[in-house]
Amino acid sequence: MQTQISSLTIARPDDWHVHFRDGAALRSVVGHTARRFARALVMPNLKPPVTSVEAAREYRTRIVDAVTAHPGLLQAGAGFTPLMSLYLTDNTAPQEIALAKQSGFVHAVKYYPAGATTHSDAGITRLERVYPALEAMQRHDLPLLVHGEVADAEVDIYDREAVFIDTVLSQILRRFPGLRVVFEHITTREAVQFVQGAGAKLGATITAHHLLYNRNAIFQGGIRPHYYCLPVLKREEHRSVLLAAATGGDPKFFLGTDSAPHARGTKETACGCAGVYTAHAALELYAEVFDGAGVLDRLEPFAAFHGADFYGLSRNVEKVRLERSAWKVPDAYPFADASLVPLRAGDSVAWKLV
């Protein structure tokens, strides 16, 4: 029998896709990410959305303040740097893209199709409307992040990603061949194959929850709102393709949790919000995935190298250590004046951050 690895030291990873929210909610969740990751690319879907460099600068300050307000939050000597993104709208001006590039702290611009997900009503209504902004991003080499789902009522929810590839993403890549694009939180075989077949300018993030669960999780013995996110979990055959992509060593795939906190009451209701909260155990959950696939040695490049290389940022030199030691996830965490239910609530996670 093979002996089990009992601990693992890797370069401190980065989370290339996270939702922090704002105000008291931000202060509730930011520590989970800051403790594990050296950097995180923060999504701009606030209310109102972060559409300008000035708004991103102010949001960044609030995040840094939230981290530094709790000195016990970080491991001794470890830092945390939020990387900011702008929310692309039909009206984003090319000048704003130039300012974003100059800022040094805006690292990407996020494309939400209007109506596709949480706080996406300011998103894109027609691709042609953002050509001037995309042209500027290509010129300034500022990456575009796409929520890759169409929001048309006629398209089945399980097909939204595949249709987005055919009708939007292919067109973006054809028209802007020099633009770096990240296909965010991919969930299907079609997405994996499309990324593998495209040039080096296209990368993709993969969440822990899409690697760990298929769509049965949403309906296990009843309706389970805490497994509902967008893009929604898919069939097992898609999960297995994602798993092979994440653990296969291809540098086009990298870690992005899409940890998306929502107050318990807004999920456990007749029309619940989309989002799975994983920040409390993010790296540990990915360790489970890579361990289960028998390739723990590939966790470090996926979690700490591929994303940094894609974004043209230096790799982190600090280390983190994980131990094979099961721990019980609390039933809930405080979230502003409410609480949130994390993934694996009341259940165990096999790896622990030391």
Give the active site residues: 258
Give the alpha-carbon dihedral of 278, 180, 204, 148, to 10 degrees.
80
Query: Which partner from the list Zn ion, ligand DOR, none does 230 bind, CB cut-off 5 to 8 Å by kind?
Result: ligand DOR
**184 or 300: whose CB is closer to Zn ion?**
184
Helix, strand, or coil (residue 6): coil
* Contact in structure between 281 and 342 (CB atoms under 8 Å): yes
The verdict on 258 binding Zn ion (CB under 5 A) reads: yes
Cα diameter, the chain:
61
Distance CA(30)–CA(21), nearest Å, equals 9
Query: Which partner from the list ligand DOR, Zn ion, none does 316 bind, CB cut-off 5 to 8 Å by kind?
Result: none
Among 234-242, 254-262, 263-271, 301-309, which window interacts with Zn ion (CB under 5 A)?
254-262
Query: x-or-dash pattern for ligand DOR, window 113-142, by CB under 6 A?
Result: ----xx------------------------
In sequence order, the β-bridge partners of residue 4 are none
CA 131 to chain CA centroid, Å, is: 25
Of positions 28, 45, 92, 259, contacts ligand DOR by CB under 6 A: 45
Of positions 27, 147, 264, 280, contacts ligand DOR by CB under 6 A: 147
Which H/E stretch holds residue 330?
none
Of positions 64, 99, 218, 274, contacts ligand DOR by CB under 6 A: 274
In sequence order, the 6+-apart residues with CB closer than 8 A to the CB of 276 are 207, 209, 226, 227, 228, 229, 258, 259, 260, 343
The minimum distance between CB 100 and ligand DOR, in angstroms, equals 21
In 164-298, DSSP assigns E strands to: 181-183, 202-206, 253-255
Q: Nearest to Zn ion by Cβ — which residue? A: 258
Distance CA(46)–CA(50), nearest Å, equals 6
**274 or 345: whose CB is closer to ligand DOR?**
274
In sequence order, the 6+-apart residues with CB closer than 8 A to the CB of 318 are 11, 12, 38, 77, 78
The minimum distance between CB 230 and ligand DOR, in angstroms, equals 4
**186 or 308: whose CB is closer to ligand DOR?**
186
The minimum distance between CB 75 and ligand DOR, in angstroms, equals 28
**14 or 258: whose CB is closer to Zn ion?**
258
Which residues sit at the interface with ligand DOR, rule CB under 6 A?
Answer: 19, 45, 117-118, 147, 229-230, 260, 274-275
Which residues sit at the interface with Zn ion, rule CB under 5 A?
Answer: 258
